[in-house]
Structure 1
């Protein structure tokens, strides 16, 4: 029987702070750098954003855990239209705070090759109307934002001219939100009139942010709390992160399991099972920013990445080791360590094939530390997760490096998928993915 993945922290005092002198705390806080929300992606400001033909303010059709989520949609009509005729709903993904739909347009419509129109312009040129769906709290519960998606679906059907079925999906968490929304509607006997569902680098089995970096975010927030806004660990502790990260830690000093540490993840998985896991009516498409050949980025397990030597201060973080017991991933100390972190039975996620996040790069920049380019980005959404490999969401890490090129059809919950030719940034638009997606829409 496989051992449960876990993390163990050793602190040479009741808390890290109590083991340090005030000047030492100040030096660590200074070394950790940027006081902003860690891992939040900045908006895209370069390029033109098409002005929407309509803006819909949206309120979830029902609350989740007492929270009524809200959002909005930007409706972009194909040329000559006064209302949607062939609507495609494209939901935004995980980040901190409200969606910036102008930024989303810039990102997905940026030219990926010279002389080639952006992806969204190509879709509009096909006579497909684009409805960009955003959320006022991207980091809240998947089920809550799924209520916003359902309201958007109903509004789209109400505004649509004719009876052409919908295409519905999203990027990252947006793909999970729309997956749940469609499945919930089916379970309640509601006709969503959707013929195609797509997920763009969505963590169907879970996403990954290095556990040691999660811990450092909490540590910085504890040592240097923000008084004027969200703390460094705000995204890590958010409901969506707890629901979608394969491994999650609740604090700097936590020791215990990492796949079952949040009840919110278990609750989401149970809710998905209750509504049928996936919607059954639509033809289900998946796009993965990672490669499908089983080869990840060059990130040898256990390699030191961040190593701050500032006089007696030592602060170190490593690439996730491959399995084993009590494998060191990070330490902080003055001479002798005052805090060390080690994982057991955790696979080498950082170097797995998948859509990447420049997690180590962002932390190094915040700390003002040099870092090799190859260490900046680590796996964020493993390819096997993005293509919805038919595995149990809490126990699939042995499949991280699977070759997906000849995968039997019954080994995925999707009907068709496309992996990129290499491992690119999460949510990036490449020629391979754009051309495949446009080709799938051409038959609609």
Structure 2
């Protein structure tokens, strides 16, 4: 009998929020700028006056080029009409995108720098810029501004804004990273996990299904380069918001439970578990027609259930695996922590369990590297523009 090849699964995103199948077209921008390595879409508050009070917001991580329609959808249609309210208050919105969103943060920072320079050149008057971004976009613009200062370039930015950006690292479960590498018939998933940007973003990374979780060397070099340019820009006021709760309350995902079980079909016996602490914790049993892999972690904290902006990582993976056989998904494990709250507002690293579940609301604001920050009252989806966060941002933008 001839062995049948494993089915090719359509790539599914593990490091980016899922998008609805059909997204309405964004309104026509007032201008589109072609930039080295990307482009920017310009929405003026008043088309008669040109750019007067610019707000640059950068796209985050994904594979491939930035697309305006989903960016506008996230900004204005999913929770709160932020783009509309921003322009009603007289601010000009400049949406910054990249030719390849999974490219190195350092590389895309050059595109951000070009956008800042173009904004200054076209601005009418001398109102200071607001510059920032969503998720990885907050890191791209953070580095770009800091580097410009180090090089003596006047970026004329008064406010920096990060929106659920992983300043201390992001989390994709080791079990899901291993699954991405194990599905050899779908190499796009492994390529996404191993992209430069993913290696720089993720707190712990594995390069192959049998790899040992570690801080990737690309992340180490990125952090060294960030330190070289001053760690943060020093001139603007540093603002940040988190989609995760600040009360220390997790998202309800239990540690060490089976999140996904494949009970028939091509990958029968494959099991993915949520992260638990301790030594020798099995996070995955991966089974295919011709191969099998057991994935074990040592001394990692219970990150899946931590307070933070969430992604439907297990839910999406389970729905794709259902195309190949019967799959059981443990209720309540579909969405897990992606950007821990302590990372988004830069108050703690991710190594210690107690720090992850810290009651941030009880801390002094001085414990954050940001000048001011806001956390969600809930653990909302990553990059979700809630009314609470949107209003907080609008109140703190320069008049």
What range describes the TM-score normalised by the shorter chain of this pair?
over 0.9
Over residues 361-398 of structure 1, what are the superposed CA-to-partner deviations in whole Å (9 max), with x where a residue is unaligned?
11001011342452111000000000011x4x574554
Is contact 1:179-1:279 (8 Å) kept?
yes
Residue matched to 1:374: 332
1:263 to 217, 238, 246: 217
Is contact 2:112-2:144 (8 Å) kept?
yes
1:112 to 74, 79, 86: 79
Which is worse superposed, 171-180 or 306-315? 306-315
Note the C-alpha offset of 1:43. 4.8
Over residues 18-41 of structure 1, what are the superposed CA-to-partner deviations in whole Å (9 max), with x where a residue is unaligned?
xxx974x74xx34xx623254255
Is contact 1:306-1:317 (8 Å) kept?
yes
Is contact 2:342-2:356 (8 Å) kept?
yes
Gapped runs of 5+ residues in structure 1? 1-20, 60-69
Residue matched to 2:342: 384
Over residues 96-134 of structure 1, what are the superposed CA-to-partner deviations in whole Å (9 max), with x where a residue is unaligned?
100002220121111636xxxx11000000000000000
Q: Establish whether residue 188 from structure 1 lines up as the match of residue 142 from structure 2.
A: no
Matches within 5 A, 1:63-142: 70-110=37-77, 112=79, 118-142=81-105
Gapped runs of 5+ residues in structure 2? none
Which secondary structure does the structure 2 equivalent of 1:95 belong to? coil
Q: Establish whether residue 362 from structure 1 lines up as the match of residue 310 from structure 2.
A: no
Is contact 1:47-1:110 (8 Å) kept?
no
Q: Establish whether residue 317 from structure 1 lines up as the match of residue 272 from structure 2.
A: yes
User: Could you tell me how far apart the structure 2 residues matched to 1:88 and 1:339 are?
Assistant: 48
User: Could you tell me how far apart the structure 2 residues matched to 1:150 and 1:345 are?
Assistant: 40
Note the C-alpha offset of 1:81. 3.2
Which is worse superposed, 395-404 or 273-282? 395-404
Residue matched to 2:204: 247
User: Could you tell me how far apart the structure 2 residues matched to 1:319 and 1:246 are?
Assistant: 16
User: Could you tell me how far apart the structure 1 residues matched to 2:19 and 2:105 are?
Assistant: 21
Q: Establish whether residue 235 from structure 1 lines up as the match of residue 192 from structure 2.
A: yes
Q: Establish whether residue 35 from structure 1 lines up as the match of residue 2 from structure 2.
A: no
Q: Establish whether residue 51 from structure 1 lines up as the match of residue 28 from structure 2.
A: yes
Q: 1:300 to 1:354 in 2, by over 3 A?
A: same
Which secondary structure does the structure 1 equivalent of 2:271 belong to? strand
User: Could you tell me how far apart the structure 1 residues matched to 2:199 and 2:389 are?
Assistant: 28
Residue matched to 1:66: none
Number of residue pairs matched?
A: 391
User: Could you tell me how far apart the structure 2 residues matched to 1:193 and 1:22 are?
Assistant: 66
Residue matched to 1:15: none
CA RMSD of aligned residues (A): 2.1
Residue matched to 2:254: 300
Over residues 205-249 of structure 1, what are the superposed CA-to-partner deviations in whole Å (9 max), with x where a residue is unaligned?
00001101100111102xx256xxxx2212101000000100100
User: Could you tell me how far apart the structure 1 residues matched to 2:116 and 2:97 are?
Assistant: 13
User: Could you tell me how far apart the structure 1 residues matched to 2:100 and 2:314 are?
Assistant: 25
Note the C-alpha offset of 1:410. 2.3
TM-score, normalised on structure 2? 0.93
Note the C-alpha offset of 1:351. 0.2
Is contact 2:65-2:97 (8 Å) kept?
yes
